[in-house]
Amino acid sequence: MKLNLVKARTGAHWVKRGIQTFVKQPLAMAGLFFMFMALMSLISMIPVLGLPLAMMLIPATTLGLMSATREAEQGKFPMPLILLSAFRADPRSSRAMLTLGLIYAGGFLLAMSAAYLVDGGGFASLYLGGSSPSPELLQSAEFQTAMWVFIGLHLPLSLMVWHAPALVFWHGLSPAKSLFFSLIACLRNFWAFALFGVLWLLVMVLAVLLITTLASLLGSPELAATLMFPALALVASMFFTSLYFTFYDCFSATPDSQH
């Protein structure tokens, strides 16, 4: 396994490859993303343990989506079971993926708990879908502080987990090493990832502007409300499709082991 340093413009290449691969298999990639979201939602509904269990599955299901991207790029139609790739390999890989899940879930809950202590749960309730935003809530100093506390704690966790599932699954690294090298890869290729994030943000804003403009031209505000969620979900599925290419270029070109 070799860590590669890439140029800043590679971030745009990742976005382009993600969109192109999604277009190759739009039904499969969108369907898998919706299955992923539905699975997370259903598990989250379990009393008390739902949220931690859903967070535990994030690394494994992200690996499943990356595996689907690899198949789609090769012209294959990824089947639903590919989402469970992490648990269909050898027991060592499955245990390592569960360990990553425990680490991610623990870190997420720690970040959310810290935000809860700041504003009494306003940000946490909104983030987890338990309340609707109000102008007063969004403008309150406590809410904004809680938001930045969560971001400050969750961002490094996200960078550590970004490549970790793929490093565990395709390169056989231990959970600890995969988290370390994932963080280093993101930091060493900071400008590529910064451009990657900015471009996806612009894609999302463009999608919102197109929908609101179309609804305004047709004189139908209800149309915007109807189209907004599926449009943003498609953008999100394209984003997840692009994750594989960030891993592919940051590490050795061909995974050492095949699953």
3-class SS letters over 35-102: HHHHHHHHHHCCCCCHHHHHHHCHHHHHHHHHHHHHHHHCCCCCCHHHHHHHHCCCHHHHHHHHHHHH
- For residue 33, report the phi and psi dihedrals to the nearest 5 degrees: -65, -45
**Could you report the per-residue pLDDT of 116-170, keeping only the tens digit for each?**
999 998 898 888 876 667 777 778 899 999 999 999 999 999 999 999 999 999 9
Interval 89-111 mean pLDDT: 93
Residue 212 pLDDT exceeds 70 = yes
% residues pLDDT > 90 (the chain): 75
Report if residue 5 sits inside a domain: no
Write out the residue range of the structural domain in which residue 92 sits: 20-188
Region 2-30 average pLDDT? 96
Residue 209 resides in a domain: no
**Is 104:58 a contact under the CB 8 Å cutoff?**
yes
Residue 236 in domain: no
Number of domains in the chain: 1
Mean pLDDT, the chain, whole residue set: 91
User: Does 211 map to a domain?
Assistant: no
Question: Would you say residue 89 lies in a domain?
Answer: yes
Asked if residue 136 belongs to a domain, the reply is: yes
Residue 75: inside a domain, yes or no? Answer: yes
pLDDT digits over 72-93, tens only?
A: 999 899 999 999 999 887 888 8
The contacts of residue 60 (CB under 8 Å, 6+ apart) are: 84, 86, 87, 97, 98, 100, 101, 165
Judge whether 257 lies within some domain. Answer: no
Predicted TM-score (pTM) above 0.75 = yes
- Per-residue pLDDT at 191 exceeds 60: yes
Q: Which of 238, 94, 255 lies closest to 163 in space, CA to CA?
A: 255
